[in-house]
Amino acid sequence: MSLMSITKQLISHIKKLGRGAVFSPKDFLNIASRDLVDKTLSRLVTQGMIIRVTRGVYCYPQKHPAIGTISPPLDDIAKTIAKKLDQKLQISGAEAAHLFGISTQVPAKRVYYTDGLSRQIKVGNQVLQFKHACPKKMAGAGEKAGAVLQAIRYLGKQTINDDTINMIAKQVDAKDQKSLRQIASFAPDWSRPFLNKISSYEHK
């Protein structure tokens, strides 16, 4: 397969992913070898079609008529890094609380728990921090059920109330409730009554 053919296939694949997509060379190994994929992506960076977000991670950026290139969300970058490294990813408790609207404070640092090695990865002027975590903290990683456990751990027994539980419960569907029941054993003992309320909440 010629380099031109490989380039055309990569461009076609990237365009199908759409503007804002974040990816790594691993996503194209069904097209060509790692060496050829790396070289082609580097060429596309030089040509300005894609941008290199951090080492081994690229983006087909969105463009704004006034502000120009828009950087991809940090969550998308973190997920791509985790996929590239074959690792699971769990959001932090502070991020989970913000996700459910319980806390309006945006965490100053983007911290993610992983079943891989702890590391810090610089993305522009920001830093993604990956912390190795035990299986208990990784329960439900990548799922909303896992985020529920993280939020409850972060809030703590003294902070949680009925309003908090209802706020979370309204944002989980039947599939999330089933997953939550499956991983409830990984949660602290004091949180079980709260988890039971969320997993049995009836949506109107």
Q: What does the pLDDT look like over 78-104, one tens digit per residue?
A: 999 999 999 999 999 999 999 999 987
What does DSSP assign to residue 130? E
CA distances from 93 to 3, 130, 147 (A): 46, 14, 7
114 token code pair: 């992983």
Please determine, for residue 66, whether its predicted confidence score (pLDDT) is greater than 90.
no
Q: Are strands 119-123 and 89-91 parallel, antiparallel or unpaired?
A: unpaired
Report which DSSP code applies to 37.
Answer: H
Instruction: Dump pLDDT digits (tens) for 138-196.
Output: 999 999 999 999 999 999 999 899 899 999 999 999 999 999 999 999 999 999 999 99
Looking at residue 1, its pLDDT comes to: 67
Could you tell me whether strands 62-64 and 89-91 are parallel, antiparallel, or unpaired per DSSP bridges? unpaired
Query: CATH top-level class for 3-70?
Result: mainly alpha
Tell the burial category of 83 from Cβ atoms under 10 Å away from its Cβ (0-12, 13-18, 19+).
middle
Give the domain ranges of the chain: 3-70, 74-199
Average pLDDT over residues 60-80: 90
Amino acid at 51: I
Summarised one tens digit per residue, pLDDT across range 19-57 is: 999 999 999 999 999 999 999 999 999 999 999 999 999
pLDDT at 203: 78
- CA–CA distance, 120 with 22 (Å, rounded to integer): 19
User: Measured between alpha carbons, how far is 50 from 22 in angstroms, rounded to an integer?
Assistant: 10
